[in-house]
Structure 1
């Protein structure tokens, strides 16, 4: 197990978060606020949501309004999480667990047909005559 620098406690490897689970827990936050925050490992936020969400039982109208606001926030957060793509969710919440695919500008795919032809010619995949013929065809089409 890896150890953090300057600390004697070992790092815990956490599980990958699931977008649907976090989203539905947030929607369930209309009844019990903060579940999605506990699931995502944000314990302080979870306790904050839970305490503010339970203020609905306090006989004070401003605190009850605050409680309903937290519950509405949970609903909105749930809808946001459920409509998010898996890639966005992983980038935001599972960034330490995903392998990012870094490529240089030279390695990325060229979309311009003439540049593709030029690249094929430089790599020796086509002859100069084939290059000229295909380039004329591309220019006729466009």
Structure 2
């Protein structure tokens, strides 16, 4: 679970804290907003398992790359921005609305089936999206 207090986490800091976990395990978990895991690492430090896990996680953060780290711990903030929605010409919307009305009249008059109406309606609406 991501913490609201740390909106952006630095990969290098996470690597250093994870590798420092060989001495004091769990610091990187607190930094990454995973408080429950951080507490578990501290509670079981005597067993040696959290120290080994910290070492492996430090290596994992180092190997995985910035994009994968951001996707996992920064809410995917390194993903490329999505293109803006295309601007819709109001005249085009009006023309499509008129075509939909005519299409509905054909359906009501029984000149096209419900299935044909739905297919053509979707094609017209896809022109807006």
Residue by residue, what CA displacement relative to the aligned partner does 1:30-57 show, whole Å, maximum 9, x if unpaired?
110100000011111100001101xx2x
Match of 1:95 among 75, 88, 101: 75
- CA gap 1:78/1:99 in 2 versus in 1, 3 angstroms: closer
Residue by residue, what CA displacement relative to the aligned partner does 1:49-78 show, whole Å, maximum 9, x if unpaired?
01101xx2xxxxxxxxxx212211110001
Match of 1:45 among 20, 30, 37: 37
Mind listing any 5+ residue stretches in structure 2 that lack a counterpart?
84-129
**Counterparts of 1:46 and 1:20, CA distance in 2:** 18
2:55 aligned partner: 75
- CA gap 1:42/1:19 in 2 versus in 1, 3 angstroms: same
- Aligned pairs for 1:58-137 (under 5 A) are 67-95=47-75, 97-98=77-78, 100-102=80-82
TM-score, normalised with respect to structure 2:
0.55
- CA gap 1:96/1:85 in 2 versus in 1, 3 angstroms: closer
Mind listing any 5+ residue stretches in structure 1 that lack a counterpart?
1-10, 57-66, 104-142
**Counterparts of 2:63 and 2:26, CA distance in 1:** 19
**Counterparts of 1:12 and 1:20, CA distance in 2:** 20
- CA gap 1:100/1:72 in 2 versus in 1, 3 angstroms: same
